[in-house]
Structure 1
Amino acid sequence: MSMARSLPETRHIYALQGRDVPVWLERSARRSVGLQIRQEGLRVILPQRFPLQELDAILRQKAGWILGKLDALAERPAATPLQAGSPLEWLGEPRSLSLGHKRAAVTADALQLVAETTADIPLALQKLMRREARVFLAERLDSWAARLGLRYGEFKLSSAGTRWGSCTSQGTIRLNWRLMQAPLPVIDYVVIHELCHLVELNHSHRFWALVATACPDWKHKRDWLKREGARYFAW
């Protein structure tokens, strides 16, 4: 098998702080270990030649974070069945779902979807949100990068189940397309947060001080997302 291709996942059980956690391991061409929280447990993506025995130390070090994310995911509201007329937020403003359109669009009071039945709604809604996010979030990223005097490498959309954004050491910034439901000031906080990781790839005092230069009330927006953001995943 080519080393550039991923190998199939294998399921394991790891004991983290006295709890048994299902862990799916996958080998890929990436250079660092990746951790992804899923409803059914933890997904770990390992470089092809990464020694498996070194994973224990990483999981023990990250145990608090892993368990906290798994608990938060478990507490998330059950998925809400969507139908024509269902309310949904768009940039923090109320909209309703409208079906049967030939082209998806956002109007002053509705999200018009290329969907005929309720079963078609989730995918149609995701397509609309991703399409709009690809342009809108890139514009916010460029705007704030210019204001902060920073340059990022690449922008990608994220479908992460528990993270709003991420920034790699190579300067790639990912933003969750579900942010299109959030108010603009909250979106900007996430954008600023990830841009500041270009300077400080951590959450040190220096990092938060940098965030505060562009977003003085970042604590309020961070807490708002923790308190209110779960509903944006409830479909």
Structure 2
Amino acid sequence: MTVLPGDPPVPITLRRSARARRFSLRVSRLDGRVTLSLPSWAREADALAFARDRENWIRTALEQMPQGRPVEIGARLPVEGREVVLAPGRGRAPRLAGVLLEVPGDPERAGARVAGFLKTLARDRLSRACDRHAAALGRGYSRLVLRDTRSRWGSCTVEGKLMFSWRLVMAPPEVLDYVAAHEVAHLVEMNHSPAFWAVVARLFPDHAAQRAWLRHRGHELHAIRFGD
């Protein structure tokens, strides 16, 4: 880790790679983390000089990051691809009522309550999708786990455990369905070979639009802050 001086100073993560032949900079659209990749033989002082030469580019990229969207009463939130408005509610749990997501209890706890609601909804939708796709392949999976991951939307282990980001339930349903199909396909092919993509195409034909949505819009889901 190094720091680019200025107002404000910018932390930069250094990542050495034996395969790197030159310096390269990346600003994550998910969390604004700045990463500088450098050859294993390069000096840290030279890496920092490289970052200083590109300071304007770094700061412009950070300024263009989507601002965090707090989850609070009155805010808008995507649920299964549809914008709803958070409103005060009654009872024990949040409830969808048309264009409203009614959230009971202390408004200060709205973010945590909504996150819990979305996790429950995500488990239901992903379980259904994975069961359907696994049945189509005649395969089974060992368990389904939800996490709040930043680097990937899903994964599959050699033991058949499927992991997904629960934030997928905020995306359009067909996007969630594609990610489920993608990970279930790994039960047959633990790689990204042409054979793997052929399995994905069997489960979810014409998935290019869903992949593009995640590439261009997925960072918007990570920008939502639930305060948990």
**TM-score in terms of structure 2 length:** 0.68
Larger Rg: 2
Report matched runs for 1:1-235 at 5 Å: 14-16=15-17, 17=20, 18=23, 77-102=66-91, 103-117=93-107, 119-235=108-224
Residue ranges of structure 1 left out of the alignment (5+ in a row): 1-11, 22-36, 43-55, 57-70
Q: Is the 8 A contact 2:25 2:34 kept in 1?
A: no
Root-mean-square deviation (CA, aligned residues, Å) is 2.8
In 2: Cα distance, 1:139 partner to 1:76 partner: 34
- Residue in 2 aligned with 1:26? none
Residue ranges of structure 2 left out of the alignment (5+ in a row): 1-12, 41-57
| Number of positions where the alignment pairs a residue of Structure 1 with one of Structure 2 | 180
C-alpha distance 40-108 of structure 1, shift in aligned 2 (>3 A): same
**TM-score in terms of structure 1 length:** 0.67
In 2: Cα distance, 1:156 partner to 1:223 partner: 24
- The sequence identity of aligned pairs, in percent, is 31
- Could you tell me how far 1:137 is from its partner in structure 2? 1.5
- Could you tell me how far 1:155 is from its partner in structure 2? 0.7
For CA contacts below 8 A with separation 6 or more, give which structure has more relative contact order: 2
- Residue by residue, what CA displacement relative to the aligned partner does 1:199-223 show, whole Å, maximum 9, x if unpaired? 1111111111111112121122101
